[in-house]
Amino acid sequence: MAERVAKVFSKPLPRLMAWMGPIVFALLLVPALAGPYQTQLFTYGLIFAIAALGFNLLLGYTGLLSFGHSAYFGLGAYSAAFMVRYLGVGSMEMFIVGGVLLTAAVSALFGYICVRHTRIFFAILALALSQVLWTVAYKFFWVTGGTDGIRVAFAKMTLLAGTVNFTGAGAYEKFVGYYYYYVLVLFVFCTVLMWVIVHSPFGKALQAIRDNETRAQFVGVQVKRYRWFAFLISGTFTGLAGVLWVPLNGLVTPDILYWPFSGEIVFMAVLGGFRNFTGPIVGAVVFNYLKAYAVASTQYWQFMLGFVLVVLVLVLPTGIVGAGSKLMEKIRGKDKAGAEEVAR
Amino acid sequence: MTLLRTVNLKKYFGDTRAVDGVNFTVAKGEFLSLVGSNGAGKTSLVNLISAYLIPDEGQIILDEVDITRSTVNDRVRAGISRSFQLVNLFDDLSTFDNVALAIFSRQEKTRNPMTLADNDTEVTEEALGLLRQFGLNRHRDVQARGLAQGERKLLDVAVAYALRPKLLFLDEPTSGVSTRDKLTIMDTISHVVRGGNVTAVVIEHDMDVVFKYSDRIVAMHEGKIFADGTPEEIRRNKEVATTLIGAAFTD
Amino acid sequence: MDIFIIQFLNSVFYASILFLIAAGLSLIYGVMQIVNMAHGSFYALGAYVTAWAIGTAAAGAPVALLFVLLPVGAVAVAAVGAIVEPMLLRPLYNRPEEYQLLITFGLLLILEDVMHFAFGGVPLTAGAIMDATGTFPVSSLRYPVYNLIVIVIGVIAAIGLWAFIYRTKFGVILRATSQNRRMASALGLNVKQVYVLAFAMGCFMAGLGGAIVVPSQAAQLGIGVDALILAFVVVVIGGLGSLEGALVGALLVSFVRTAGIQFFPEIELAVLYLIAAVVLLIRPTGLFGKA
């Protein structure tokens, strides 16, 4: 019996479910235990985790560093806002469908331009393209609302195909609670989906490209094509995060397309550890809290970000999760040595 | 039966004639050694045939199909595979994953992002089988960068072989390895490759290895082929000896 | 007709600045294979320091003194570069290139806020020099003499840099090290020294670009990243690591930008990117680039 259980859990997907289970259970309890402010803050963390997860498909798994991911996040956000302002739509599901389609299309286009080039030009081009979008959002203010932005009020929104709305007394608390679970479900979905992708033959091919582009070619992997596809998936995940972000923030402005936000996404992945699957998730959640408390205490937030990034690169390049697993190995190593001692 | 032939193949690097009108043929099922001093053009020839370089003149014909203008990917799919002089592996992937990837690619399964690689028993078993054949099985979960030099060389060959090519090019598979390990490695390679009925062209400097394992030897010098024959014929060929070693071979 | 002459002069003026920045970026990449994400911020720092120095000295000071103060920004930036390289870049020589990009990006963030902190949010200018040098007539209009001075500086810089790299002993050392670091080291060249000097030189050029632009355009927050993006477009078009490429790219970008601002002000950036994209499609390493 024990053997059969062990066999089931030696397979990757059940093992994933096993350690995700308790975490998801804990996450389910958050709105009950925390007030609306904390719940909302945590929701932001989950949203950024989706964005960072998408970003890291390119960095951690394909070896492509993009300083332009704010483009996809912002596109997702603006697409929802446009649907509110110009189409009078309020359904969250419509926002998601529209946002995903738009960011997929733009990722496909931008990806085509970017992946034809070496990794250094890639980083430059990704940044430049996101700046184009920012300029467009900024200058075409009669369409995008310019620096005033476009409002997305939760009172006018619905979830679950119109069955849940947020009007009347206690609407804000209701929204925060429901929205948290909505985002949580999507977060779990995205995590499992990305996990499958990186553990698929496609995911292995991406890692091969990351490790040795030439050899990958000589093994029959068409490097540009695979990079492009990874770019498409990456941009779409980040775009979805953008769509989810906007109802919570209530407002979208060109700031979300500006390069510092791209830098924050990069930072999240590096902070958590971009060579681990869970690194970006941890990094996003931790960063979210750091930012919330740091921005409150200083206006030189960029300096802090830059400083910590430099320290991370020099001292802790594997990030929180990377350092954590090294620590675990050392402890286990000590345990093993201890057991050997006792055995003697 | 000729599997591959080149017609008057030429490649220049400025004034240097790396490959200077080469008519190279490989017969199906052969185990052929390509020898010559440094700079003779051996690696350039292999680079041209595997599409790492584009020829300035001449043709490359595989199974009577002109592949001169085809891409790297086309040639891989047509059945040409190669290993590299300086070991070229996926360093952060495990030994197992290195080989499995080649198999996934061969079966065109790498397009699929929605199945789990580890669940593919067909590929897993083939990969494990190959690792066993190359003696790398106990390192299956070790990262490629963590292997010893001799093992890395073997893995490099295993990855190329995992593509089950029609024609396998091995660029100095024993270079940088201690003398004791050279023969072991070459034994393994020869055994697996012949056992799999794969046609192989091996670039090699160590003449002991060359004489022991080859069906046929092709000697190059300054971009041209100047000798071509069985190990006995080459052994008797004083010109080859002088060019390669500077003295006649001793038996 | 006058407008065209003015716009032509403006383009060449701006090209001088862009050339300095892009050449510095290319130099650093050519020698060290590092893309300096903080390069635009060094340009901005040069602008700020010079504007501050001249602004502090300005009241009633002789024009000559103001001119002497101009390079202060460039020297300050070079000094910062000479400190930054051994501290932040040397530890990463053998690491994958992502880490270098990340650390120079961190440096960008740090510098932007350092400038914010040191110089405040208000734009600084060194207009005193502009006023002091006056204008000269271009048919019925008048054009600042200072802009011509900048163009001359740009030309001198281009010639000087070319001579330095191709005609001096240190230039040979630079080129040798950029070709093959290990080989150069085996030949007894002190690679660390070469790298620090190359980086400091690259930063000096960016800082000089900022220093000489500041009498004409104010130093303010955000010019760093704007400059970085344009410099990137220049090296993408001209080719990373190439001096000629930086020159040609700077001229091309500058002229397109001037024409764009004149005729399509909303999308002049988009037109530039379009051109960059087209160049990349035809020649992926840029017009003069090495792979």
Count of residues for chain B? Answer: 251
Supply A205's token pair.
Answer: 């091919």
pLDDT at C114: 94
- pLDDT value for B77: 94
Hey, what's the torsion of the CAs at A23, A27, A32, A36, to 10 degrees? 150
Single out the residue of C256, C274, C280, C287 nearest to residue C26, CA to CA: C287
Q: What subunits make at least 3 CB pairs under 8 angstroms with B?
A: A
C-alpha count within 13 angstroms, C-beta hemisphere, residue B76: 26
- Tell me if residue A275 falls in helix, strand or coil: coil
Contact assignment for C229 to A140 by CB distance below 8 Å = no
Query: B16 pairs with which residues across the strands?
Result: B13
Residue C35: band (very low, low, confident or very high) from pLDDT cuts 50, 70, 90? confident
Whether A302 has its CB under 8 Å from any CB of chain C: the answer is: yes
- Tokens describing residue C8: 């032509």
Token couple for C91: 């530890």
Residues 111-150 of A with CB under 8 A from B: none
Burial string for A15-32 (b: 16+ CB within 10 Å, else e) reads ebeeeeeeeeeebeebbe
Nearest beta carbon to residue B110 from set A12, A202, A217: A202
Of the candidates C197, C206, C198, C218, the residue with the CA atom closest to the CA atom of residue C42: C206
Closest CB to C99: pick one of A259, A305, A313. A313
Domain residue extents for chain C: 8-220
State whether C107 and A317 contact (CB < 8 Å): no
Q: Which domains does chain B have, with CATH numbers?
A: 2-88+164-244 (3.40.50.300)
Backbone torsions φ then ψ of B62, nearest 5 degrees: -110, 120
Beta-carbon pairs below 8 A across chains A and B? 102
Residue for token digits 């790297």? B72
Cα gap B41→B47, rounded to integer Å: 10
**Do A70 and A265 meet the contact criterion of CB atoms below 8 Å apart?**
yes
C-alpha distances (whole Å) from A286 to each of A45, A141, C43, C154 are 8, 34, 33, 47
Residue A13, min C-alpha distance to chain B (Å): 8
The Cα C250–Cα C161 span in angstroms is 15
Q: How far apart are CA B220 and CA B35, in angstroms?
A: 6
Any residues with CB less than 8 A from the CB of A262 and at least 6 apart, and which?
A: A66, A67, A68, A69, A70, A71, A127, A130
Residue C103 has pLDDT above 80, yes or no: yes
Residue-wise burial string across C22-36, b where 16 or more C-beta atoms lie within 10 A, e elsewhere:
bbbbbbbbbbbebbb
Distance CA A15, CA B186 (A): 41
Cβ-contact A39, A31 below 8 angstroms? yes
Q: Cα-flanking dihedrals φ and ψ of residue C20, to 5°? A: -60, -50
- What average pLDDT does chain C have? 84
- Best probe of the C interface among A113, A303, A311, A315, by most C CBs < 10 A, is A303
Residue of C204, C155, C247 whose CA lies nearest to C50: C204
CA dist list (Å): A293 to A41, A42, A224, A251, A288: 11, 13, 42, 21, 9
Three-state SS for A23-76 is: HHHHHHCHHHHCCHHHHHHHHHHHHHHHHHHHHHHHHHHHCCCCCCCHHHHHHH
How far is residue B175's CA from residue C60's CA, in Å, rounded to a whole number?
Answer: 75
Rounded to whole angstroms, the Cα distance separating C282 from A144 reads 34
Binding-face residues of A in 180-199 toward B, CB within 8 A: 196-197, 199
- Closest-approach residue (CA) in chain A for B105: A220
The reply to whether A127 touches chain C by the CB within 8 Å rule is yes
Which of A113, A132, A303 lies closest to C270 in CB terms? Answer: A132
Identify the pLDDT of residue B251. 44
Q: B75, B97, B98, B104: which to substitute to probe chain A, counting the most A Cβ within 10 Å?
A: B104
Find all residues with CB under 8 Å of B225, minimum gap 6, and list them: B22, B23, B24, B218, B219
Q: Which of C152, C148, C130 is nearest to C63 (CA)?
A: C130
CB within 8 Å: B114 and A215: no
Report yes or no: B4 and B26 within 8 Å, Cβ to Cβ.
yes
Chains C and A touch (3+ CB pairs under 8 A): yes
Q: Do A218 and B50 touch (CB under 8 A)?
A: yes
- CB contacts of C284 in chain A (<8 Å) are 116-117, 121
Question: Which residue from C11, C227, C29 is spatially nearest to C112, judged by alpha carbons?
Answer: C227
What's the CA angle centered on A208, arms A204 and A209, to 5 degrees? 120
From the list A124, A125, A306, which residue is nearest C109 (CB)? A306
Amino acid in the structure at residue A2 = A
Partners of chain A (3+ Cβ pairs below 8 A): B, C
Q: Which two tokens stand for residue A256?
A: 């979300």
- Environment class of residue C7 by beta-carbon count within 10 Å: exposed (0-12), middle (13-18) or buried (19+)? middle
CB contact under 8 A, C284 and A117: yes
Chain A residues lying within 8 Å of C107, measured CB to CB = 306, 310
What Rg, from alpha-carbon coordinates, does chain B have?
18
A214 to chain B: which residues are within 8 Å by CB?
88
Residue C160, CA distances (Å) to A108, C76, C155, C167 in order: 44, 20, 8, 10
| Residue that has been written with the tokens 């490097």 in this structure | A223
Instruction: Chain A: give the shortest CA distance to residue C92, in Å.
Output: 8
In 3D, which of A267, A252, A230 has the Cα closest to residue A99?
A252
CB–CB of A242/A75 below 8 Å? yes
B171 by DSSP, 3-state: which?
Answer: strand
In a 10 Å sphere around its CB, with 0-12 CB exposed, 13-18 middle and 19+ buried, how is residue A118 labelled? middle
Query: What count of residues does chain A have?
Result: 344
Decide if A11 touches B, using CB distance below 8 A. yes
Q: Collect the ranges in chain B with pLDDT lower than 50.
A: 247-248, 250-251
Give the number of A-C residue pairs with CB atoms closer than 8 Å.
Answer: 111
In chain A, which residue's Cα lies nearest the Cα of B97?
Answer: A204
- Pairwise CB contact (< 8 Å): B77 & A212: no
To the nearest 5 percent, what fractions of chain B are helix, strand and coil?
A: 40, 25, 35
Residue C288, pLDDT score:
75
| Cα-Cα end-to-end distance for chain B | 32
Q: What ipTM score was computed for the predicted complex, to two decimals? A: 0.91
Phi, psi angles (nearest 5°) of residue B59: -135, 155
Query: For residue C124, how many other CB atoms are within 10 A of its CB?
Result: 19
Give the pLDDT confidence of A280-333 residue by residue, as tens digits: 999 999 999 988 887 777 888 889 889 999 999 999 999 999 998 888 888 887
* Nearest C-alpha neighbor of A61 from the set A296, A244, A279, A282: A279
Q: Strand, helix or coil at B223? A: coil
B77:A207 CB<8 A:
no
Rounded Cα–Cα distance for residues B85 and B172 (Å): 5
Rounded distance between C-alpha atoms, residue A222 and residue C248, angstroms: 34
Residues shown for chain C: 291
Rounded to 5 degrees, what angle do the CA atoms A191, A42, A63 make?
Answer: 40
Q: How far apart are CA A306 and CA A315, in angstroms?
A: 14
For A205-241, how does the pLDDT look when each residue is reduced to its tens digit (9 = 90+)? 999 999 999 999 999 999 999 999 999 999 999 999 9
| A contact test, residue of C41, C113, C242 with most A CBs within 10 A | C113
CB contact under 8 A, A263 and C109: yes
Higher pLDDT, C142 or C251: C251
pLDDT at C266: 67
Does the beta-carbon distance from A218 to B92 stay under 8 Å? no
Smallest Cβ–Cβ distance between C225 and the set A119, A135, A259 belongs to A259
Task: Pick out chain A residues at pLDDT < 50.
Answer: 342-344
What distances in angstroms separate CA B55 from CA A247, B36, B67, B68, C274, one per listed residue?
Answer: 59, 20, 11, 8, 34
Tokens representing C75 are 């020297």
